Amino acid sequence: MRILILGGDGYLGWPQALYLSQKGHEVAVFDNLARRQFDLRHGIDSLVPIFPMQRRIARWQALTGKTIAHYHGDMVDWEALSKVFQTFQPEAVVHFAQQRSAPFSMIDREHAVYTQQTNVVGTLNLLYAIKEFAPDCHLVKLGTMGEYGTPNIPIEEGYIEITHKGRTDTLPFPKQPGSFYHLSKVHDSHNIHFCCRVWGLRATDLNQGVVYGADTYETLLDPELATRFDYDQVYGTALNRFCAQAAVGHPLTIYGKGGQTRGCIHVKDTVRCIELAIENPAAPGEFRVFNQITEWFSVAQLAERVQRVGQKMGLDVQISHLPNPRVEKEEHFYEVVHTKLLDLGLEPHLLDDAEIERMISLSMEHRDRIDMGQIKPTVNWRATENEVEPTQTDAALLPAT
Amino acid sequence: MRILILGGDGYLGWPQALYLSQKGHEVAVFDNLARRQFDLRHGIDSLVPIFPMQRRIARWQALTGKTIAHYHGDMVDWEALSKVFQTFQPEAVVHFAQQRSAPFSMIDREHAVYTQQTNVVGTLNLLYAIKEFAPDCHLVKLGTMGEYGTPNIPIEEGYIEITHKGRTDTLPFPKQPGSFYHLSKVHDSHNIHFCCRVWGLRATDLNQGVVYGADTYETLLDPELATRFDYDQVYGTALNRFCAQAAVGHPLTIYGKGGQTRGCIHVKDTVRCIELAIENPAAPGEFRVFNQITEWFSVAQLAERVQRVGQKMGLDVQISHLPNPRVEKEEHFYEVVHTKLLDLGLEPHLLDDAEIERMISLSMEHRDRIDMGQIKPTVNWRATENEVEPTQTDAALLPAT
């Protein structure tokens, strides 16, 4: 099948491209390198070295004989996006090409506007590109479990049957997102749902949990195939960051009480979930939602597990509670229905000590690359001014308004 | 109280400014004249002549001795918006300054992107302006009943208590909007709700029904104080359009079966509802939702009432059913809770024959101004290409991407 990976240079997009290529699909990637540009601008880098796109694609071809087509472009640039649709004629499109950091979106007004404009307009362009050039193409869209927030009832997969005043309907599950980034994903979900209803497009919205893990079977084939691994306050997710902290003797930084509970998933399961969605596409007109998680943990539980494994490895691992820079419930009910991907055949890689040990070891191997100044949270949900100041070159990233 | 009316040049913004000025408030209006620019570009005009902003403000002052401050600017222009906040220091802000036509948003990709970008970024800028310059200011935001769509359960005022699997929570009412315009209002609602939760802003979201009526007590004081009256396919709402059609002998154009039911409200009640919201502000941190309607009708019921009144006036009024250009249910359950504004003291002006007669008479008085070519719907929800082509000058309206 011809599969287009939007955002194919990122933490998840790149392993996804390799995985689907390995499975025999014809894969193209489209990316504007925004994530690498952020690193350049802020003087930071992936803990694991990553290679230029051209080079890793060449390495993949040398190792496997398989080619991956590469398009450089931006989702908000209609000409670039429509050109790749007309040229490649995708049968499925996987959409990772978004500003994907909650702290980034909370830095200040410019970053909030940039996040929502980039994500919402990018997805609108994509919906029109599908409608115009590939109306039967199946859209597989990455959403986030953070769209739901933390309601006091179990979280269903996208819809909930409500009986109210003697009448019943199945309606979209109410959303309570917790940052301008999470909000942008909610906006996308509503826009995509509408286009399925009105234009008969087919779409799967994957509300993904926090992804952890440093590698997949494909990225492990060669160091030049590695995907990025972020440990910093803006892009590093909790478990990855804790492992990096344990490796360098930095206390594991829990925001607030640590009772915040989040759905989690290993990157190896992410790539498989997306394959399952592609192999079993939504019907024309269908807007389908899967909760793409395999288990859930509180932040404190994750920290304690990293501490325990680190201590077994002979490391001195401390835990420190920082004032919570976010506005969120620190103790709450959390229960998520996530059967649809299991029903399609997902066999989860659950979090075990070996995986944590692997991530700590990897962090120790690359510990010289860690910039301790990038770990402490400086982006505060409540503040008017945050310490991650837009630098002069930020303006280049922000579209004209 | 110092009250800022964003979009104070529009069909509703202008009567709102007069009404609050009449009540003794200190009123400022902010507008970019986008609505008048659309008329210029498409060679169309309000059925009732409207005067330049400067001139109608001067007329108001001559008649009443009251002044209205006037700022020209665009919501997506942060400098312009922050300047008015710093200068005027509003205690309440009423936000009408949006692209407000569903058909406009469905013309093509550019109009969809323009609608969501303008509305979402404008509101984001406003939220940051309140946070930064007037954190105690009460935001009164115009939403639409169209955010809810037509669920098979009664529509509550913004929230619904859900009991599910033995647990209970009160959550945002699920939304099923029916155009890119309606979607933009849903996006706004989520963004505003978040800022109330996280920053402690105070906001009232008014999910308004379809507004009808040509005048308020204030606009009637002098022809130079008139507000606009739209009868065309892009901006004309059903009842106003039917009255104009009856006046010129054009069949009343029902889209599809006509069983589509919509909440309605007279413009005289709109201005009062907003006053009630301002007089009884939301608490800090509160995101409050009112359903701003007084009654509801199917489109066919509205057409039949206009036909009956027109016939009493000696007119030959026909009804014609056109293929529905929209994608919507043409027969559905509809029941709306709308007690919060009544509890605050609203005394509704319900639709009566005298009001319909007044609108038909007004249309007859100005019948020479009606362009029959602007009535037939050419914007189709399903089409890739619509007949309202972006003209060369449209580019000026669309922000750079």
Task: Please spell the DSSP secondary structure of B123-170, one letter per residue.
Answer: HHHHHHHHHHH-TTPEEEEEEEGGGT---SS-B-SSEEEEEETTEEEE
A186 vs B113, B152, B190: nearest CB: B190
Residue B153: its pLDDT value, please?
Answer: 98
Nearest to A321 by CA among A259, A379, A235, A363: A259
Q: Which residue of B has its CA nearest to A124?
A: B113
Let me know if residue B393 belongs to a domain.
no
pLDDT in tens, B86-124: 999 999 999 999 999 999 999 999 999 999 999 999 999
Minimal CA separation from A288 to chain B, in Å = 15
Residue A399: its pLDDT value, please?
Answer: 39
Mean pLDDT by 10 residues, chain A (401 residues): 98 98 98 95 93 98 98 98 98 98 96 98 98 98 98 98 98 98 98 98 98 96 97 92 94 95 97 98 98 97 98 97 95 97 98 96 95 89 67 40 33
Task: Please spell the DSSP secondary structure of A16-52, one letter per residue.
Answer: HHHHHHHTT-EEEEEE--HHHHHHHHHT---SS----
Let me know if residue B399 belongs to a domain.
no
Q: Which residues pair with A298 in a beta bridge?
A: A261
Q: How many other CB atoms are found less than 10 A from the CB of residue B234?
A: 20
Residue A394: its pLDDT value, please?
Answer: 42
Q: How many other CB atoms are found less than 10 A from the CB of residue A312?
A: 12
Res. B385 pLDDT band, cuts 50 70 90:
low
CA B227, CA B215: separation in Å to the nearest integer?
A: 7
Q: Which residue of B has its CA nearest to A78?
A: B401
Q: Which residue of A has its CA nearest to B174?
A: A174
Query: Above pLDDT 90, what percent of chain B?
Result: 92
Let me know if residue A334 belongs to a domain.
yes
Residue B27: its pLDDT value, please?
Answer: 98
Let me know if residue A301 belongs to a domain.
yes
Tell me the average pLDDT across B337-364. 97
Tokens 């989702």 correspond to A75
Q: Which residues of A touch B187 (CB under 8 A)?
A: 116, 120, 183, 186-187, 190
Q: Structural domain of residue A222, as residue ranges?
A: 2-375
Residue B181 annotated among the catalytic residues of the structure: yes
Q: Which residues of B touch A384 (CB under 8 A)?
A: 131-132
Let me know if residue A400 belongs to a domain.
no
CA B262, CA B326: separation in Å to the nearest integer?
A: 14
Tell me the average pLDDT across B47-64. 97
CA A265, CA A142: separation in Å to the nearest integer?
A: 13
Report whether pLDDT(B333) > 90.
Answer: yes
A217 touches chain B (CB under 8 A): no
Q: Which residues of B touch A116 (CB under 8 A)?
A: 120-121, 124, 187, 191
CA A274, CA B397: separation in Å to the nearest integer?
A: 39
Q: How far is CA A392 from the centre of its chain?
A: 27
CA A289, CA A282: separation in Å to the nearest integer?
A: 10
Report whether pLDDT(B191) > 50.
Answer: yes
Residue B378 annotated among the catalytic residues of the structure: no
Q: Which residue of B has its CA nearest to A156?
A: B164
For helices B180-199 and B109-133, angle between their N-to-C axes, nearest 10 degrees: 20
Tokens 């994907």 correspond to A100
pLDDT in tens, A92-145: 999 999 999 999 999 999 999 999 999 999 999 999 999 999 999 999 999 999
Let me know if residue B392 belongs to a domain.
no
Listed by number, the residues of chain B in 54-113 with a beta carbon closer than 8 Å to a beta carbon of chain A are 76-78, 109, 112-113
Tell me the average pLDDT across B44-73. 97
Q: Could you tell me if A322 and A253 are in contact, meaning their C-beta atoms sit under 8 angstroms apart?
A: yes
B382 touches chain A (CB under 8 A): yes
Pairing between strand A92-95 and A2-6? Answer: parallel
B381 vs A109, A117, A198: nearest CB: A198
DSSP state of A336: B
| Least trusted range by pLDDT, from A178-187, A317-326, B47-56, B382-391 | B382-391
Tell me the average pLDDT across B361-376. 92
Minimal CA separation from B207 to chain A, in Å = 17
Q: Which residues pair with A68 in a beta bridge?
A: A27
CA A119, CA A141: separation in Å to the nearest integer?
A: 12
CA B179, CA B277: separation in Å to the nearest integer?
A: 27
Q: What are the residue numbers of the active site of A?
A: 144, 181, 185
Q: Domain tally for chain A?
A: 1
Q: Could you tell me if A227 and A11 are in contact, meaning their C-beta atoms sit under 8 angstroms apart?
A: yes
Q: Could you tell me if A146 and A180 are in contact, meaning their C-beta atoms sit under 8 angstroms apart?
A: no
Indicate yes or no: CB of A131 within 8 angstroms of CB of B384: yes
Higher pLDDT, A372 or B133: B133
- ipTM of the complex model: 0.95
Q: How many residues does chain B have?
A: 401
- Which strands sit side by side in the sheet containing B295-298, from one edge to the other? B210-212, B261-266, B295-298
Tell me the average pLDDT across B339-368. 97
Residue B9: CATH number of its domain: 3.40.50.720
Residue A395: its pLDDT value, please?
Answer: 40
Minimal CA separation from B211 to chain A, in Å = 24
Let me know if residue A388 belongs to a domain.
no
Let me know if residue A162 belongs to a domain.
yes
Q: Which of B169, B329, B379, B398 is the mutation pick for testing A, counting most A CBs within 10 A?
A: B169
3-class secondary structure, B206: strand
Listed by number, the residues of chain A in 118-177 with a beta carbon closer than 8 Å to a beta carbon of chain B are 120-121, 124-125, 128, 131-132, 151-154, 156, 160, 162-165, 167-169, 171-177
Residue B299: its pLDDT value, please?
Answer: 96
pLDDT in tens, A141-197: 999 999 999 999 999 999 999 999 999 999 999 999 999 999 999 999 999 999 999
